[in-house]
Structure 1
Amino acid sequence: MKAQKGFTLIELMIVIAIIGILAAIAIPAYSKYQGRAKATAGLAEAKALTTNFEDLQNGGTAPTAANLNAATTQNCAWTITAGVSGSIKCTLQNAPSAISTGTITLNRVDTSGWSCTAANIDAAYMPKGCS
């Protein structure tokens, strides 16, 4: 009698079930990771513009997206508000659907520096240091 080689149907079904369970856990976790990464990248880009904003402000020039070299990036479309209480607003671009309409705004407060606020971003996706 020859020995049988290969897998039985039951063994193959068990493997497929295990792969399905792992995918059901991994896909939502990856989506959450992707959203947090996009929001954090937007905040990092906005914080990078604060130095140029301060330099222009102190030099008597009104900061704009053009003179801050704030071209639209993969992460942000910019809205700059000049003034003592100016702001740098990042509207997230190419973001996952959970935060596709999200905005991150850095507001300049003359006495205490910069503060971060976010809109249309769920707490699970919120970058650290932003409320």
Structure 2
Amino acid sequence: MRSISKYSYKSQLAFTIVELMIVITIIGILAAIAIPAYQTYIVKTQVSEALELAYGLKSSIVINLQYGTCFANGSMTASTNADIDSTVGKFGKATIIATDGGLPPCGVKYDFISTGISTELSGKTLEMSIGNNQILIKTIATDIDDKYLPLSIK
């Protein structure tokens, strides 16, 4: 007859410390990769709002150019009334700009707010001119890193 020993084999009931350390290490590596990618995604999302507002103002500029100026009502300067020559978004304000007293070439300037936004964009400016084919093109006045901008305006 077999004797039953108090040291007989038992099925494993818990994880060992080594197994737990391996799992924690894997989670740490995944987090180190995911967090920077997520932060870049957030910045690109905030830039996309600027582009959305700029495209809306671009449509206004095209209509305004039929009256010979970049601004509404044939004016040579931007209107001070809200939502005529500017639009306010969650992360900043887009405004129609012109280099020569309201005459073409026209563009859109988006000023990012300083608080409640990614530090990569805080207080920065995205300025775009409107090319001959009505496409927005980034100007040298833009102080945002190109890695956050879509290829369509670079």
- Say whether the fold is shared (TM-score over 0.5): yes
TM-score, normalised on structure 1? Answer: 0.78
1:61 to 74, 82, 92: 74
**1:101 corresponding residue in structure 2:** 123
Percent identity for Structure 1 against Structure 2: 30
Q: Which protein has the larger Cα radius of gyration, Structure 1 or Structure 2? A: 2
**1:36/1:125 contact within 8 Å kept:** yes
**2:53/2:87 contact within 8 Å kept:** no
- Give unmatched runs, 5+ long, in structure 2: 1-7, 68-72
Alpha-carbon distance between aligned partners in 2 of 1:116 and 1:39, rounded to the nearest angstrom? 14
Alpha-carbon distance between aligned partners in 2 of 1:129 and 1:67, rounded to the nearest angstrom? 26
**1:92/1:100 contact within 8 Å kept:** yes
Superposition map of 1:34-45 within 5 A: 34-45=42-53
- Give unmatched runs, 5+ long, in structure 1: none
Alpha-carbon distance between aligned partners in 1 of 2:147 and 2:117, rounded to the nearest angstrom? 15
Task: Work out whether 1:121 is the aligned partner of 2:140.
Answer: no
More helix as a share of residues? 1
Alpha-carbon distance between aligned partners in 1 of 2:83 and 2:64, rounded to the nearest angstrom? 8
TM-score, normalised on structure 2? Answer: 0.68
**1:73 corresponding residue in structure 2:** 89
Q: Secondary structure at the match of 2:137?
A: strand
**1:53/1:68 contact within 8 Å kept:** no
Aligned residue identity for 1:128: L
